[in-house]
Structure 1
Amino acid sequence: MKIIRDPIHGNIELNEIELRLLDTAEMQRLRHIKQNGLCYLVYPAMNSTRFEHSLGVMHLAGKVAEHLNLKEERQNLRIAGLLHDIGHCAFSHTSDHLLSRFGFDHEKNSSRIILNTEISDILNAYGVSAKKISDLVTGKGNLSKIISSEIDVDKMDYLNRDSYSAGVAYGIIDLERIIHTLKLIGNEIVVGSGGLEAAEALLIGRNMMHQTIYRHHTKRIVESMFANAVNYLLDNKKLNYEKFLVMDDIDLVYTLRNSEGYAKEIMNRIDGRELFKRVFAEKINKTMESFRAEISKNKKEIENKISDDAGIPRGFLLLDMPSSELSEFKVLVEYDNELKKIDEVSELAKALEKAELERLTFCIYADPRYRENIKNLDIEDYIQYTQTMLKKFY
């Protein structure tokens, strides 16, 4: 048994198998993958990594298992919590859409690692099914909802941890209270009667963190620039998919700094904080929302169209259309002896859901050297260009 001191949860105990897993190269890699991508360029202390987050999720998974009296599954849930983010690529969610271009995501990558590396050998040596752990991590089976669902130990840890590292109080929630309101009913993890206020507190914390931290406009600008630079390397065969999967933050930054052309210039600009600026912002309307998939699919063509018409070099104007995060508003709660979604019984949840949708903003970022080029275009042209291109591909 070993104890690791954590600023969020205090002492976290690890047994022999957990220590063996912690010492694998795959887990140690997470020490060099920032939890919040490039958010540290806006909030300087946000340097926490996927490593300590994984320890926190493991700890909370054990707490929930104890509360739900899942004695036989407690060890598996703790291991799944420890390994749940092992498939994240460099800079965490900043790289998610880069994975998607290969038909992959970090959960599938986690499964690949669990089943095909030393981790599988360690699990087998201790009589633990690697397949069962993989299923828990990738959302298969009712108990997987403890790890990943509308209300899960993943959110419980990162909201508190990110609040701590950002120096804000928005996401600090009463973990003990929330855990003690949880119930397992059939295949669902639900908030028991009397726990509505605890669930509402989590929704408030999550909403505030998204609006003020995760969607901060400077963070989104720098991450858009960074992702576009990595895309440039992938498109031009300067970086291959297999190598990208195993990189950590240090590896990827080194690769960008030592590259050539556009990717190197963008990385140099990020290092020198010579960032693009927001040149257009429009609340996402129903038309844009209905074309969301097409915007993602044809983002590069739309960017090139606007850039060409504005006389801006390609790659120096970027679109950003954040997605809504509405799953938490479907948390099941016991209410009047029935199971209902929280937005059906809570006026506060309804208001937060409405605010979530109303605050989503479609943005265009551009190199400030080309401000005059942007000014030469009627602002309505941006909407027209976008909708014209979308209709062409829809």
Structure 2
Amino acid sequence: MKPYKVIRDPIHGDIGLSELEVLLCDTGDMQRLRRVKQNGLCYLVYPSMNSTRFEHSLGVMNLGGVACAHLELNERQTKLLRAACLLHDIGHTPLSHTTEKIFASYGVDHEKLSTEKIGMPEIKKLLEAEDINPGEVGEIILGRGLLGSILSSAVDVDKMDYLVRDAYYAGVAYGVTDVERVLKTLRVGENEIIVGEGGLSACESLLVNRNLMYQAVYRHHTKRIAEAMFCRALRKIIESGEDYQRICAMDDYELISLMRSQKGFPKKIMSMLDNRILYKKVFSKKILSYTEKQRKNITLNTGEIEEKLANKLGLEEDCLLLDYPEIRMSEYKVKIMDQGELKPIDEASSLARTLEENELEKHTIDVYVCQDKANNVRRRFSEAFKAYIT
């Protein structure tokens, strides 16, 4: 079918859109994504990482259509999946994953927000005019069923787009993946996609590139410091009485303007970030070096531990930040056909097992303090930390 409109994309070339997809792009929720950075504060490390959720959504929609063609899905399934791919990020909070942890603590889930927005009149009316059930689109966004697994799973079109796109804008080679080859290896399993016979090496390349991108870009230590600073300031704003639901609906510019308009700590932090004046790392230790009980204690009592450590070290409130990243290992649960048998990839591939172990090893608990206190604190920090994590 001839596209209604064509948009030029630096990653995928010409992306064709149907009339419905053009109308969806013109909605307020989709246009907001032009003002939400794909990678939050990554631009403080990689200056060209200023791409937005809008072009990522177009890329995912394009790959969703390609996947449907390879899997020989019918026209209705293709229309459903492309709509879900296009709309899957409309619920993202400002600065994307930078703020996700803060809003999650208030019960906010960006995928559920996306499904709620799809049920609102502006988008709902457009979908229903094309005999598309908004509820079905929402189910796909939540990763349910065959179509949901194409959008959200261990080997999905969302991941294929952001790895290649983010590598391009960061200027690194790690995320360069032969997306077409990976897509050609996908097969229809029992209500989910699987990797077909002979697709192991293509799948391994995707996992390798993801692993390298997380090490070099997504978990870069400078990015983590900047995000910890921003999130502490954001939490202060919410605790002072700002409505977190109103903030969720903002774009990046609105949230940053709100931060700059505050008094005290949030304003100070925003000024520091504007001038790239960052806290310094004084402590870093592998998460796996702690027992499960200790890790649970850190997760549940982060604020209390920060306060006690600051007092012990003679630091002012908010001069010390404890950064404990969430461990997500679902990427290694993809199923693959290996010699006629369907297996988890970590059973079929020693490389996948090594990558999984490597990723766990790379997770660290880090502590950051104000620049002028860093040298003094660094020398006596380890003993102080031990006392509060047993």
Task: Output the TM-score relative to the length of structure 2.
Answer: 0.96
**Partner residue, 1:391:** none
Alignment match of 1:4 (pick from 4, 7, 17): 7
- Is 1:23 the counterpart of 2:16? The answer is no
The answer to whether the 8 Å contact 1:312/1:373 transfers is no
Q: Secondary structure at the match of 1:29?
A: helix
Gaps of 5+ in 2: none
- Is 1:133 the counterpart of 2:137? The answer is yes
**Structure 1 residues 293, 248: CA separation in 2 closer, same or farther (over 3 Å shift)?**
farther
**Structure 1 residues 191, 100: CA separation in 2 closer, same or farther (over 3 Å shift)?**
same
* Cα separation, 2, equivalents of 1:143 and 1:290: 38
**Structure 1 residues 288, 262: CA separation in 2 closer, same or farther (over 3 Å shift)?**
farther
* Cα separation, 2, equivalents of 1:293 and 1:184: 39
- Is 1:257 the counterpart of 2:260? The answer is yes
> Cα offset for 1:294?
4.1
The within-5 A match list for 1:53-92 is 53-71=56-74, 72-92=76-96
Q: Secondary structure at the match of 2:255?
A: helix
- Is 1:186 the counterpart of 2:157? The answer is no
* Cα separation, 2, equivalents of 1:328 and 1:309: 40
Residues 326-359 of structure 1 show CA distances to partners (whole Å, capped at 9, x for unaligned) of: 2121111100111101111111111111111111
* Cα separation, 1, equivalents of 2:374 and 2:281: 10
The one-letter code of the counterpart of 1:190 is I
Alignment match of 2:98 (pick from 64, 82, 94): 94
* Cα separation, 2, equivalents of 1:372 and 1:356: 30
* Cα separation, 2, equivalents of 1:217 and 1:290: 26
* Cα separation, 1, equivalents of 2:284 and 2:345: 31
- Is 1:299 the counterpart of 2:291? The answer is no
**Structure 1 residues 18, 221: CA separation in 2 closer, same or farther (over 3 Å shift)?**
same
- Is 1:149 the counterpart of 2:153? The answer is yes
The one-letter code of the counterpart of 2:259 is L
**Structure 1 residues 103, 206: CA separation in 2 closer, same or farther (over 3 Å shift)?**
same
**Partner residue, 2:247:** 244
The within-5 A match list for 1:1-394 is 1-71=4-74, 72-237=76-241, 239-285=242-288, 287-371=290-374, 373-375=376-378, 377-385=380-388, 387-388=389-390
Gaps of 5+ in 1: 389-394
Q: Secondary structure at the match of 1:171?
A: coil
Root mean square deviation, CA, Å: 1.3
**Larger displacement relative to structure 2 (372-381 or 211-220):** 372-381
> Cα offset for 1:186?
1.1
* Cα separation, 2, equivalents of 1:228 and 1:117: 35
Q: Secondary structure at the match of 1:365?
A: strand
* Cα separation, 1, equivalents of 2:36 and 2:320: 27
**Structure 1 residues 117, 93: CA separation in 2 closer, same or farther (over 3 Å shift)?**
farther
* Cα separation, 1, equivalents of 2:225 and 2:375: 19
* Cα separation, 1, equivalents of 2:67 and 2:35: 28
The one-letter code of the counterpart of 2:377 is I
The answer to whether the 8 Å contact 1:310/1:373 transfers is no
Q: Secondary structure at the match of 2:131?
A: coil
